[in-house]
Structure 1
Amino acid sequence: MSENKLLVTFSPHIRDSVQTDKIMLNVIYALIPAIAVSIYYFGFFALKTYILTIIFTLAFEALFLKIRGRRITLDDNSALVTAILLAMNLPPASPWWLILIGSFIAIVVGKQVFGGLGQNPFNPALVARVFLLISWPAQMTSWIKPTPIIENFNFDSVSAATPLSQAKTELISNGKILTEFSDASAYFLGNIGGSLGEISAIALILGGLYLIYKKIISWHIPVSYLISFLLIVIPYWLFFPDKSLSPFIHLFTGGLMLGVFFMATDMVTSPITKKGQIIFGVGCGVLTAVIRLFGGYPEGVSFAILLMNAFVPLIDYYIRPKSLGEAEKV
């Protein structure tokens, strides 16, 4: 007579009715305030970038699922979320060919070559952003001045530097930061130059709080990311005020809020356990601060998150819950 054996596995053991498409829809809902702000300040340029990115990304997703002989699953909304996040990592006036290449890299190189949804080790949108930044730095750092859509209905653009890029340029040229950025409201409301997803801190914070409220993400990564980041930036600013922007500017400019709430918390590419998420968040915060303060790039969020993505399997291996039915070690 054969014995029935129980399979001892790691948690979680509770099934939930929440499906991928609903989770992704909630992420899209959370991004709506930031999308609206970017369209308000960049008008036609923002709309063009969002529309082209969505079209190209969904097309590549469907094409390569077809090539692989898999069912076309655009209705799970994962490719749509990748498209929006990629668009938010691009300059408003990005040329169409840059968007096309970025969409290909995000879907094919960042996702499909690893087996598709749930199997990619790196955030697809960030893979595309870093690839484009390294390959075409001029196009990826061509910022335009934000102009409220109600004040400007033409398609002309005026160049404008971001606070982080301007400070980095002055630091490299003069050994100190000469410009003072005093308009705090601009950082919150979005009236600054930058990529589509980094101009309004308040819009991104609201979206992030919505995701935490809906339990799509937990607080562990965002809080540990921000605290570890500030623990490096604040002392450095206190000791070297002429070589660093204030912590306030560091906190609310650049891609930090987008990365903290929407990129680092990606379920596929972040740790499973709460302790692992805290370690992951601390790593992201430390790397972001180090790259911003001492690296050649003014922004470090994308590089930091991708580097920590590579450590996720190791974190999950060493920081994992006890197996169901496992006895305590004496």
Structure 2
Amino acid sequence: MQTPDSRQRNAMGQVLLACVPGLLCLLWLQGWGVLFNLLLCSATALTCEAVSLYLRGHPIRPFLSDGSALVSAVLLAIALPTLAPWWLPMTAVLVAITLGKHAFGGVGRNPFNPAMLGYAFVLLSFPLQMTHWPTGNLQLTDSLSLVFGDGTQIDAWAGPTVLDVLRHNRSLTLDELFASNPSFGNLGGRTSEWLNLAFLLGGIFLLQRRVFSWHAPAGLLGALLFVSLLCWNGSGSDSHGSPLLHLFSGSTMLAAFFIATEPVSGPRLPLARLLFGIGCGLLIYLIRTWGSYPDGTAFAVLLMNLGAPALDRLAARRQALTS
């Protein structure tokens, strides 16, 4: 196994820096639970990374400093509910690092996005804890009680996401939902619309720094915009939501700029990356609208990870025909 070079460490550092606006926004909107998630995920990721490297007989320091484990930890800290019990983020990170990365040979060899594999595992295993988010910014003592206590008060402090409310709505129009439900904001979720704007800002920074190409983000956002516009049936009670609601709710911008752009589990060629993003965008909408889960980013990305080699072969064949 080759040790990570300075270019990879620099790219991971810039990704972490681009997450700062979203983390600050999440901390402002949802309080102390974000910090607890971040600390638990980071500590678990570094510990699992060090232990896995030691057991596999690889040098610990160069791989521990490459930043990939911390990137997975930060993405999970952002994606997981901020008042989940302490063992939930630790379990997600444990699965992400040990099974998602080292079980396949370590960094550079994982066929699946490690963070999304960990997220999908806890979503399937602990659905109740994964579908409830805080309804407000709680005090430090209340947050500590929920995160490190027995978790029995979670229903008193948390509620479903905007996408979940929309999926289960049967009687109210979209206008009535926005007017009557405090979790709705101006474009999408009251919290998620600001988070999506923050991650859009971070994504633009990464594009400007050329950490990744535009293909996967443009494919994901373009496909999601197109299919949500195509299937938008107005603001009635059976509406699937407007294109703006889908773009600025859930984890859309996080998925487009920080998850679908993961270089190892995604395709290599530009056309393949564009197709990868398009597939992710279509699957996210399908799962949000007709699936069993309100967002669907993790499952969409993992399914497209399976098709990444085929997309690269298709793009290479097309490139050979046109050259």
TM category, shorter: 0.7 to 0.9
Asked if 1:180 corresponds to 2:177, the answer is yes
Q: Aligned to 1:83, which of 69, 73, 76? A: 73
Local SS of the residue matching 2:158: coil
Q: How many aligned positions are there?
A: 300
Structure 1 CA distance, aligned partners of 2:321 and 2:134?
61
Q: What is the aligned partner in structure 1 of residue 207 from structure 2?
A: 212
More helix as a share of residues: 2
Displacement after TM superposition at 1:223 (Å): 1.0
What is the 5 A alignment of 1:111-126?
Answer: 111-126=101-116
Local SS of the residue matching 2:32: helix
Q: Which segments of 5 or more consecutive residues in structure 2 lack a partner in the other structure?
A: 147-156
Asked if 1:311 corresponds to 2:307, the answer is yes
**Deviations, residues 265-320 of structure 1 (Å, cap 9, x unaligned):** 11111111111111111111111111111112111211111100110011112212
Letter paired with 1:92? T
What is the 5 A alignment of 1:152-231?
Answer: 152=139, 154-155=141-142, 158-171=157-170, 179-181=176-178, 184-185=185-186, 187=188, 191-192=190-191, 200-231=195-226
Displacement after TM superposition at 1:160 (Å): 3.0
What is the 5 A alignment of 1:236-251?
Answer: 236-238=231-233, 241-243=236-238, 244-251=240-247
Larger radius of gyration: 1
TM-score by length of 2: 0.85
How has the CA–CA distance of structure 1 residues 141 and 322 changed in structure 2, closer, same or farther, with 3 Å as cutoff? closer
CA contact (8 A) 1:83 1:103 kept: yes
Local SS of the residue matching 1:200: helix
Moved over 6 A (4+): 175-178, 326-329
**Deviations, residues 128-166 of structure 1 (Å, cap 9, x unaligned):** 11110011000111211132x8xx555257223321011
How has the CA–CA distance of structure 1 residues 273 and 241 changed in structure 2, closer, same or farther, with 3 Å as cutoff? farther
Displacement after TM superposition at 1:84 (Å): 0.3
How has the CA–CA distance of structure 1 residues 48 and 249 changed in structure 2, closer, same or farther, with 3 Å as cutoff? same
Structure 1 CA distance, aligned partners of 2:268 and 2:65?
25
**Deviations, residues 73-95 of structure 1 (Å, cap 9, x unaligned):** 21101101111011111100121
Structure 2 CA distance, aligned partners of 1:42 and 1:153?
11
CA contact (8 A) 1:41 1:191 kept: no
Local SS of the residue matching 2:134: coil
Displacement after TM superposition at 1:235 (Å): 2.1
TM-score by length of 1: 0.83
CA-atom RMSD in angstroms: 2.6
Asked if 1:268 corresponds to 2:267, the answer is no
Identity of aligned residues (%): 34
CA contact (8 A) 1:163 1:181 kept: no
Deviates more, 1:153-162 or 1:176-185: 176-185
Q: Which segments of 5 or more consecutive residues in structure 1 lack a partner in the other structure?
A: 1-16
Q: What is the aligned partner in structure 1 of residue 11 from structure 2?
A: 23
CA contact (8 A) 2:235 2:241 kept: no
Q: What is the aligned partner in structure 2 of residue 255 from structure 1?
A: 251
Structure 1 CA distance, aligned partners of 2:186 and 2:16?
25
